[in-house]
Structure 1
Amino acid sequence: MNSKSRVVVWSTGGVGSIAIDAIRHRPDLELVGVWVHSADKVGRDAGELAGGTALGIAATDDAEALIGLRPDCVVYAASGPERDAGAVPDYLRLLGEGINVVSTSSTSLVYPPSYFHPEWRKQLESAAEAGGASFYASGVFPGFGSDQLALLLATQSKTIRTLTVREIALNDHYPVADVMMDGMGFGRPLEFEPMLSTPGFIEMAWSAPIQLIAKALGAQVLQIRGSLDRRVTDRDLEVAFGTIAAGTCGAVCTRAAGVVDGREAIVVEHIIRMARDVAPDWKTSDSDATYQVDIDGDPDIHCSLTLGDAEGHGAGRGAMAATAMRVVNAVPYVVDAAPGLLSSLDLPITLPRNVLE
């Protein structure tokens, strides 16, 4: 691997700020620039924007200036209601200029062959080829909890009948009302139809991890079946985006199942609650964020991973840190990889360097 990779971080939100702080302490990485969206952040010190001490690097919204720095890689962590629509043009520009990209923004690109927008995928492939650069997306779920953790455990398997990956999360800390209410249906009566209930949405959202696992295990998924279940809260809940009234949705479960040889063999479940005691008959956890893998086979395998402190709290920060480090730790590997659109199947385990304190 190269001795040091020059890195630009694209945004200073929760994930971007963690990436900035991590890079500043890594002798194998050098932070050379930071992009920001808000005009009031332009010109401010990137280290201070990330909640730390000054770095002597002024944040900018000038993409051309950052490209002119000729970084080896961009850590792309911008977010928004239309992530891919805003991000893909940036990816194309960066890749075409020969700049590698690691991203937490486009979760459907954790497995590029299954990307829901084939025309965009072709454009990204062409840009990567033209620029001689690579693109890699990851995170926690989709990401590590829904692919590499499951596949690592599967190295112990003789046979597998069903492989299930699951996230169980308490999301009362998430402040974006339109995502939680209109997108997922929290705080709405069960008659309300959130974006999650759009036909084909769940299947599209979880296609990437299902197809990635199938590819790794040498299986072929020809159909994905999606389902949505919601439960009401029996009392008012005060959460970060407001009040969830009694009798409205307080828990959501999505399930996507990849069908192999006529049976549901690869399953992704996502359980989100606004309070721990809503939907008690669903899978539960004492932690704010739990990632589970259950393999029904020979042998049966069950694994549970939690983020946050020992008491199971602080998972929001833990999940953001894990998300950021999935791509920061991958930077040297992506820089050294052959050009193209990568998934976790194309890289070795992206072990961090120089992180022991």
Structure 2
Amino acid sequence: MAGGSYRVVVWSTGGIGSIAIRAIQERPNLDLVGVWVHSAEKDGRDAGELANGEPIGLAVTTDADALIALKPDCVVYAASGPERDALAIPDYVKLLGAGINVVTTSTTRLVNPHAYEPAEWRDQIAAAAKQGQVTLYASGIEPGFAADYLPLVLSTQSSRIEKIHSYEIGLYDDYGVPDIMSDALGFGRPLEYQPWISFPGAIAGEWHGQLRMVADALGVELHSVRETFDRAVTERTLEVAMGTVEAGTCGALRMQAIGIVDGRDAIVIEHVTRLAPDVAPNWPTLPNALGYRVVITGTPDIDCTFDVTLRDRKKAGIESMTSGAGAMVATAMRVVNAIPYVVEAEPGLVSSVDLPLTIPRQAFNPA
């Protein structure tokens, strides 16, 4: 920490990175000193122009070593892609080993680093953090808040808990990444197609860490994880961000990861994802295009529903997305707001449970 502020580098200028750039610029306690980009076409351009069109006088670079040489207190790692873990792990090791704290939205399974697999990669990251005497923290809105941290906050009102069921329910019509939407999830494909997410162990692998984080925090043993996976076809042709989705192909997914405690379904994470509101109308719904719900059955029964929306996309660094815009800002801010707490934390790999409440310092602006 220098001059009362934390020196920060943002790693990539995609959706989350652009939001982080604008937010850091507005915080008196955060000092944006560098931005990394992968593309040679972006190298040397103004970071603000890439974020939302307004220059800030800071050129981005493809030179990772030059950014490390700046000795930032923390890197906001927001690079994305289909091979994000394989590409991100070496970056984490390099940054942590150089004595730079890392907050990341890229490796979602690291929201619970204590359950992260493969163990070999976890051990590499942990060794680098120990070497550099720094900390790594991963978060987002889901994973990272809605289905893991929020249920634990709500449980502070509980006398007895029988079951926790967390939902993300939303439209993904504005998500235009075909290799994820079509290949991995199966949208726009006939039901005979087997997407990656439907393979045994895929759903459990994605959400096991969150289930275990909730179970461990509540002091119960998670015996196993059961999966459910269902699809529904659209009865009409849809024009969405990923392209044309023909009638009779997959237009909605419903997935559950169910944590078994004492032989019963006890902790459930469910995602219902549609390309249009009228697909699979009998599945769970919420009033708005994207929302979250936590239901705790016990004494007392607790039912919490929330959504995140956005009035000014340009100011936040978002120009294109509609229903997911607020969730993108929330995802970015889960790690940007955590920067001071991560820098001040004991070295190692931490989850939200390991940190104090990451209240956004110097963010309140009555105007």
CA distance in 2, matches of 1:148, 1:205: 16
CA distance in 1, matches of 2:42, 2:310: 32
Partner in structure 2 of residue 132 of structure 1 = 133
* CA apart distance, 1:177: 1.3
CA distance in 2, matches of 1:70, 1:267: 42
Q: How does 1:8-19 map to 2 (within 5 A)?
A: 8-19=9-20
CA distance in 2, matches of 1:35, 1:236: 40
* CA apart distance, 1:51: 1.1
CA distance in 2, matches of 1:131, 1:293: 38
CA distance in 1, matches of 2:61, 2:325: 26
CA distance in 2, matches of 1:161, 1:116: 29
Residue identity matched to 1:71: P
* CA apart distance, 1:159: 0.8
Gaps of 5+ in 2: 312-320
Residue identity matched to 1:86: L
Misfit runs of 4+, over 4 Å: none
Partner in structure 2 of residue 119 of structure 1 = 120
* CA apart distance, 1:241: 1.1
Partner in structure 2 of residue 44 of structure 1 = 45
Residue identity matched to 1:13: G
Residue identity matched to 2:134: A
CA distance in 1, matches of 2:286, 2:279: 12
* CA apart distance, 1:309: 5.1
Contact conserved, 1:11 with 1:35, CA < 8 A, in 2? Answer: yes
Q: Answer yes or no: is 1:64 the counterpart of 2:65.
A: yes
CA distance in 1, matches of 2:299, 2:251: 37
CA distance in 2, matches of 1:185, 1:145: 24
Contact conserved, 1:21 with 1:52, CA < 8 A, in 2? Answer: no
Partner in structure 2 of residue 220 of structure 1 = 221
CA distance in 2, matches of 1:52, 1:338: 38
CA distance in 2, matches of 1:100, 1:168: 33
Partner deviation per Cα, 1:158-190 (whole Å, 9 max, x = no partner):
111110111001000011112111111111111
Contact conserved, 1:70 with 1:99, CA < 8 A, in 2? Answer: yes
Match of 2:359 among 343, 347, 351: 351
Partner deviation per Cα, 1:193-246 (whole Å, 9 max, x = no partner):
000111110110111110111111111112001111001111111111111111
TM-score, normalisation: structure 1: 0.97
CA distance in 1, matches of 2:41, 2:126: 35
Partner in structure 1 of residue 347 of structure 2 = 339
* CA apart distance, 1:52: 4.4
* CA apart distance, 1:108: 0.3
Partner in structure 1 of residue 318 of structure 2 = none
Higher mean Cα deviation, 293-302 or 48-57? 48-57
Q: Secondary structure at the match of 1:266?
A: strand
CA distance in 2, matches of 1:236, 1:52: 35
Residue identity matched to 1:120: W
Partner deviation per Cα, 1:305-357 (whole Å, 9 max, x = no partner):
112159xx933111110000000000000000000000001111101122222
* CA apart distance, 1:286: 2.3
Q: How does 1:94-105 map to 2 (within 5 A)?
A: 94-105=95-106
CA distance in 2, matches of 1:296, 1:314: 33
Contact conserved, 1:288 with 1:308, CA < 8 A, in 2? Answer: no
Partner in structure 2 of residue 330 of structure 1 = 338
Identity %: 57
CA distance in 1, matches of 2:277, 2:175: 15
Match of 1:321 among 318, 329, 342: 329
CA distance in 2, matches of 1:309, 1:142: 20
Q: Would you say how many aligned residue pairs link Structure 1 and Structure 2?
A: 355
Partner in structure 2 of residue 230 of structure 1 = 231
Gaps of 5+ in 1: none
CA distance in 2, matches of 1:354, 1:28: 7
Q: How does 1:69-80 map to 2 (within 5 A)?
A: 69-80=70-81
Contact conserved, 1:96 with 1:128, CA < 8 A, in 2? Answer: yes
Q: Answer yes or no: is 1:262 the counterpart of 2:270.
A: no
Higher mean Cα deviation, 94-103 or 1-10? 1-10
CA distance in 2, matches of 1:53, 1:170: 30
CA distance in 1, matches of 2:208, 2:264: 16
Partner in structure 2 of residue 293 of structure 1 = 294
Higher mean Cα deviation, 260-269 or 44-53? 44-53
Higher mean Cα deviation, 176-185 or 70-79? 176-185
Partner in structure 2 of residue 184 of structure 1 = 185
Pairwise CA RMSD: 1.3
